Structure 1
């Protein structure tokens, strides 16, 4: 890991605040937090579903102290010989693409030794005029009731059927992301029993490394995300065919490809008074989808073979959804949802009824 941190040196630094009150990274080389733990009573079978929960995070992800630490790692050895690698990375410094690039590099150095590891080192160079940064506000509120997290698995065959169902009348193909997001948006609006005349919003966080002009290299280190918003009346979303809902999402992404991706959006959170960060939630009319589909989630082979499963340890923000590849079923998708506990079972029923 030390070798990888030489190339990914900001992860070995500390968060601070400059004279203007803005967050900055001090590249002081203080290093990452590294913890070794032993789960003497547990086997991989006991936790292999890795459903995000406070307990899963407590067991396998180290508590970050002090809070200025950017990278924290815990290696847990099970009594069966299995190993879990739990990490905490500060989003101020890095997005998912850069995080997986770091894990690929670290595992390659561990597996193949420094001299033989085939790695692409991160790119830290960026011309100051290449990107324009602005800060749209996201309003988080105090949840009106308990939140719950759930994992829904969609098989490869179900994905193929869903993509056929969401193809546009013009013959346009639909990506896995658009198909699953359309299904989720419609089902969530129904499960929440939203008023038909209210406005629903779907937010998408998109990687724009290849979309800006000139494009950034895939190995660009940092955050290169744009936040897209799709809005429509709830009555339209719940009554339209899934192909029409998917078309709304596809057109929003298309507008970014037509030039709206010239700006990088660093999200800034705005919370109502009294809404604590750890338990904040989006308004029930909003849903935010983050996609890890297509990312090298299962490429981190430290010499023990590819990971059995990779997942978030905890999901505590109401209205947040993460899409990721299912390592146990090739071609399937795992959908991690955090929302109001009173509605999540209805979402499950609707989701599988439409598949």
Structure 2
């Protein structure tokens, strides 16, 4: 805990993904904030039963899970060996999000799909990737509501897996946002109860230690984590609602996190980590492309 001269307070938490995922972490913080206020009666108890994520006996791997192979994961693209990463916090208003949605397929498209399709496209341009290169978008998917029966919403563990959307840079950059948004939709739609159970069985016979030491992500990849539905700003320790909740550091280049911005009605924040020589270009393209999507108005005079 750090006390600021202005009277503000910063609370820092360290978590391990072996224990729980981002949703579990946000529920944990919300729970201890209720204890701090003496308001424990309004908070549902966290659900700890790890047996719900046990491998089946005998295991039944019915899908190809090569993206959870250390060798395959390391072989994608050129490893980004730079230890330097620059982070920027980019905010989007409700109006800007609306513009992205319209060009990503309409209002039915989720905020996540529209914004991430835009980020993926801008990242490829900012990095100057060759048109014939294959680029990967990694998306963590929460399995709580995808299992049958679904896990409790208060499940405290890590039922999250990584899915992947893949495209040639030329196809992603030359097409509209709807192209990227559709790739994201297909990648997420593939994550079903059977897929999740199959992955658990696959991991039962996988060297998890090697999988967790794959090193730097390739320079053709982007990983975007959504915190948009997390109850992050409900964590009132008795001092009022938080002003900001964010990561204190970044895994490395090519990672981004989306979260709500209470101060901006309907707005969101995208915290992005990229190579230093790419960030300025990324920020410029990010907003210039959104501005170009806005409809132009014209005045018609009838005489």
Q: TM-score, normalised by structure 1?
A: 0.70
Instruction: Report the aligned-residue RMSD.
Output: 2.4
- Of residues 81, 92, 96 in structure 1, which corresponds to 2:7? 81
| Aligned twin of 1:331 | 266
**Alignment match, 1:202:** 137
**Cα drift, residue 324 of structure 1:** 1.0
Q: d(CA) in 1 for partners of 2:186 and 2:119?
A: 17
Aligned twin of 1:127:
51
Is 1:254–2:180 an aligned residue pair?
A: no
Given that residues 94 and 267 in structure 2 are in contact (C-alpha distance below 8 angstroms), is that contact kept between their aligned partners in structure 1? yes
Contact 1:309/1:328 (CA < 8 Å) preserved in 2?
A: no
Q: Is 1:223 aligned with 2:158?
A: yes
- Write 1 or 2 for the structure with the bigger share of helix: 2
TM-score computed with the length of structure 2 as normaliser: 0.81
Secondary structure in 1 aligned to 2:282?
helix
Counterparts of 1:323 and 1:213 in 2: how far apart (Å)? Answer: 28
Partner-residue secondary structure (3-state), 1:188: helix
**Structure 2 segments unaligned to the other structure (5+ residues):** 60-64, 291-303
Q: What SS does the aligned partner of 1:86 have?
A: coil
**Gaps spanning 5+ residues in structure 1: where?**
1-74, 272-279
Seen in structure 2, the aligned counterparts of structure 1 residues 118 and 246 have a Cα distance that, compared at 3 Å, is same
In structure 1, how many angstroms separate the alpha carbons of the residues matched to 2:45 and 2:253?
Answer: 36
* Higher relative contact order (CA closer than 8 Å, sequence separation 6+): 2
Please say if 1:92 is aligned against 2:30: no
Per-residue CA deviation, residues 285-327 of structure 1 (Å, 9 max, x unaligned), is 1111111111101000111111111111111411111111113
Aligned residues: 268
Give the 3-state SS of the residue equivalent to 1:324 in structure 2: strand
1:166 corresponds to which residue?
104
After superposing on structure 2, the runs of 4+ consecutive aligned residues of structure 1 that deviate more than 6 Å are: none
Match of 1:281 among 195, 200, 216: 216
Rounded to whole Å, the distance in 1 between the matches of 2:287 and 2:161 is: 30
CA deviation after TM superposition for structure 1 residue 151, in Å: 1.2
Q: What is the CA distance between 1:210 and its match in structure 2?
A: 0.5
**Matches of 2:53 and 2:285, distance apart in 1:** 47
How far apart are residue 112 of structure 1 and its match? 2.7
